[in-house]
Amino acid sequence: MIRSPLMTVMTDAVSKAAKSLKRDFGEVEQLQVSRKGPGDFVSAADRKAEDILRAALEKARPGYGFILEEGGVIEGSDATHRWHVDPLDGTTNFLHGLPHFAISVGLERDGQPVAGVVYNPISDEWFIAEKGKGAFLNNRRLRVAGRQSLDQAVLLCGIPHIGRGDHERFLRELSHMMVNFAGIRRQGSAALDLCYVAAGRADAYWERGLKSWDMMAGLCILREAGGFASDPEGGDNPAGAGAVACGNEYIHRELLKILRRANPASAAKGA
- CATH number assigned to the domain covering 5-141: 3.30.540.10
% pLDDT > 90, the chain: 82
Output b/e per residue, 3-41; b: 16+ Cβ within 10 A: eeeebebbbebbbebbebbeebbeebeebeeeeeebeeb
168 CB neighbour count, 10 Å cutoff: 9
- The model carries a pTM of 0.94
* Cα gap 214→199, rounded to integer Å: 18
pLDDT band at 267; cut points 50, 70, 90: low
Q: What angle (nearest 5°) sits at the alpha carbon of residue 97, between those of residues 94 and 99?
A: 70
pLDDT band at 145; cut points 50, 70, 90: very high
pLDDT band at 271; cut points 50, 70, 90: very low
Is residue 89 part of an annotated ligand binding site? yes
pLDDT digits (tens, 9 = 90+) for 166-206: 999 999 999 999 999 999 999 999 999 999 999 999 999 99
pLDDT band at 144; cut points 50, 70, 90: very high
3-state secondary structure of 163: coil
Per the CB < 8 A criterion, the answer to whether 83 and 64 are in contact is: yes
User: What does the pLDDT average to over 121-142?
Assistant: 97
Q: pLDDT at residue 264 above 50?
A: yes
Q: pLDDT at residue 90 above 60?
A: yes
Mean pLDDT of the chain: 93
Please state the three-class secondary structure of 67-104 as a single string: EECCCEEECCCEEEEEEEEEEEECHHHHHCCCCCCEEE
- Spatial neighbors of 201 by CB under 8 A, at least 6 apart, are none
pLDDT digits (tens, 9 = 90+) for 26-79: 887 666 545 445 666 677 888 999 999 999 999 999 999 999 988 899 999 999
Q: Please return the burial class of 113, using the count of CB atoms within 10 Å of its CB with bins 0-12, 13-18 and 19+.
A: buried
Is residue 171 part of an annotated ligand binding site? no
pLDDT for the residue 96: 85
User: What does the pLDDT average to over 220-248?
Assistant: 97
pLDDT for the residue 67: 97
Count Cα atoms within 13 angstroms, Cβ side, for 44: 9
Is residue 193 part of an annotated ligand binding site? no
User: What does the pLDDT average to over 84-104?
Assistant: 93
Q: Greater confidence, 248 or 44? A: 248
pLDDT for the residue 114: 97
Is residue 214 part of an annotated ligand binding site? yes
Specify the fold of 150-270.
Answer: D-Maltodextrin-Binding Protein; domain 2 (3.40.190)
pLDDT band at 97; cut points 50, 70, 90: confident
Closest CA to 250 of 168, 104, 169, 144: 144
- For the chain, the structural domain boundaries read 5-141, 150-270
Angle between helix axes 5-31 and 39-60 (nearest 10 degrees) is 170
Q: pLDDT at residue 150 above 90?
A: yes
Is residue 194 part of an annotated ligand binding site? no
